[in-house]
Amino acid sequence: MMLKTRDANLLDHFPGLPSFDDFCRHYFGVLRWSSAAFPTARVDTGENDDVTWLSRDVRFPSWIKATYFLVENVALQKSLGGISDDIYQQERLVDHVVTPLPWDSGCNNFAATTALTTAQKHAICQAHSAFIFGNSQHVASYQQIIDLVHYPCHLAIFSGQQLIVRKGHPLITKAQYDGEPVVLFFDQLFLESGAVINCLADTSIYVRELIQFAGEISNVVTEADLANVEPVVIQSLGEDGKPAKPGEAGAHGQDGQPGQPAQDGNMCCAMPASMGGQGSPGFPGKHGGNGSRGEDAFYMVLKVGYLHARVALSNYGGNGSDGAEGGDGGDGGDGGSGGARSRFCPAGTVGLGAVGGNGGNGGNGGNVGDGRNIYITCWRYAENSCFTVLSSRQKPGRAGKGGSGGKGGLPGGIGGQPGVQGENGQPGRPCKVFENMQLLKPAYD
């Protein structure tokens, strides 16, 4: 049964599901925190002129310090921020994540991890995500190699009483390396209409209350106005691919050498003038560089005890960059001039022009990065509160044009062939958004 936004309580529809308080007790228990020790920090992005970072990347100093928790293995990571296998075994959610072929257990040793192929690394990354967010039994063969490659790791938890995000003052989560998770654990999250949270790391947001306000946090948007108010945005957008380098033009061929002059004898032509030398061919243009793939977005997990807001969600990979144009071929060299005439000998004929260089091929457009999934659990909703999904605006990289062929040298030189246009980039994999174990469709742009 799909839970409507006007319904009061998630537990009425899914008996036996842990409450938000149960989730907090479990999480705090794993962290060995007590509710009395919950941090009292208050973060207000309006206190910054630009961006507020909650970051574990030293290049982007964090507004508050994180608590770091050692996660020893992938099973513990799943219990902290993933989806329980029970959800799949009880058929509340269909397994939807990409699962690679089974792992060769003969590679389960540390020495093997130092010589992994690109394909093996990709399979391990897929299995890592599938273990946490899917039914881990389907990728059980990967558990040992995942632990060897990715664990232990440290979970960065930014926590406090209130997190206030204002329009024009975005909040950004950031990891230093891919795969480093970030958690925001606050009692209350206040979002001004039009405010943005941008996730540049795998990010989990756990809040007892998510409340939308206008102007000041005391001015909470009424339930009636939530139907038409500008939404708040929580998103993860991959970076666009880097520009490709155009191909360099080919050098022009050299002109032919002049012919030898004629020489007269005793009132006659003793040695005719020679023909001019043939020009040398033009050099081919360099191929244009391929566009680079857009970066993938990041996983997002939201657990909200009570929602009083209209939240728009967006998660898709960066656009691929365009392929660069191929370089033009160099012109062929002209034929050399014929040897000079004498009194009794005619001038030599002009040498033949050379062929022009071929144009370089255009580069291929870069592919769009992949979107990552968003998982929402929300226990209670105010009237007209909802989560909606923004459509992706994917732009695969366009193919680069081939370079022009160089002109043939004069006389008689043939022009070079033009370069071939590259291939267009391909779209990335779209994200899936699950709200209380139901798939959400994109609602609007």
Q: Is the pLDDT of residue 161 over 80?
A: yes
Residue 427 near residue 395 (C-beta atoms within 8 A): no
Q: Is the pLDDT of residue 10 over 90?
A: no
φ, ψ for residue 36 (rounded to 5)?
A: -70, -25
Segment 49-60 mean pLDDT: 90
Residue 62 near residue 158 (C-beta atoms within 8 A): yes
Q: Is the pLDDT of residue 113 over 90?
A: no
Q: What is the pLDDT of residue 1?
A: 33
Both structure tokens of 216: 């000041």
Determine how β-strand 171-174 pairs with β-strand 196-200.
parallel
Q: Which tens digits make up the pLDDT trace of 205-223?
A: 999 999 999 999 899 999 9
Write the CB contacts of 168 (distance below 8 Å, at least 6 apart in sequence): 194
Please, what is the average pLDDT of the chain? 88
Q: What is the pLDDT of residue 437?
A: 82
Q: Which tens digits make up the pLDDT trace of 114-138?
A: 788 888 888 999 999 999 999 999 9
Q: What is the pLDDT of residue 16?
A: 60
Q: Is the pLDDT of residue 175 over 60?
A: yes
Q: Is the pLDDT of residue 3 over 70?
A: no
Q: What is the pLDDT of residue 179?
A: 75
Instruction: For residue 4, name the pLDDT band (cuts at 50, 70, 90).
Output: very low
Segment 265-279 mean pLDDT: 91
Q: Which tens digits make up the pLDDT trace of 275-324?
A: 989 999 999 999 999 999 999 999 999 999 999 999 999 999 999 999 99
Q: Which of 165-174, 386-395, 436-445 has the highest mean pLDDT?
A: 165-174
How far apart are alpha carbons 71 and 125 in whole angstroms?
Answer: 17
Residue 221 near residue 195 (C-beta atoms within 8 A): no
Q: What is the pLDDT of residue 13?
A: 57
Q: What is the pLDDT of residue 439?
A: 86
Number of DSSP helices (H) and strands (E) in the chain, helices first: 6, 19
Q: What is the pLDDT of residue 7?
A: 47
Q: Which tens digits make up the pLDDT trace of 360-406?
A: 999 999 999 999 999 999 999 999 999 999 877 778 889 989 889 98
How far apart are alpha carbons 318 and 395 in whole angstroms?
Answer: 8
Instruction: For residue 235, name the pLDDT band (cuts at 50, 70, 90).
Output: very high
Residue 70 near residue 109 (C-beta atoms within 8 A): no
3-state secondary structure of 14: coil
Q: What is the pLDDT of residue 115?
A: 81
Q: Is the pLDDT of residue 5 over 70?
A: no
φ, ψ for residue 138 (rounded to 5)?
A: -75, -15
Segment 98-123 mean pLDDT: 82
Segment 69-74 mean pLDDT: 93
Both structure tokens of 380: 């209670």
Q: What is the pLDDT of residue 445?
A: 44
Reference 97, options 444, 290, 372; nearest CA is: 372
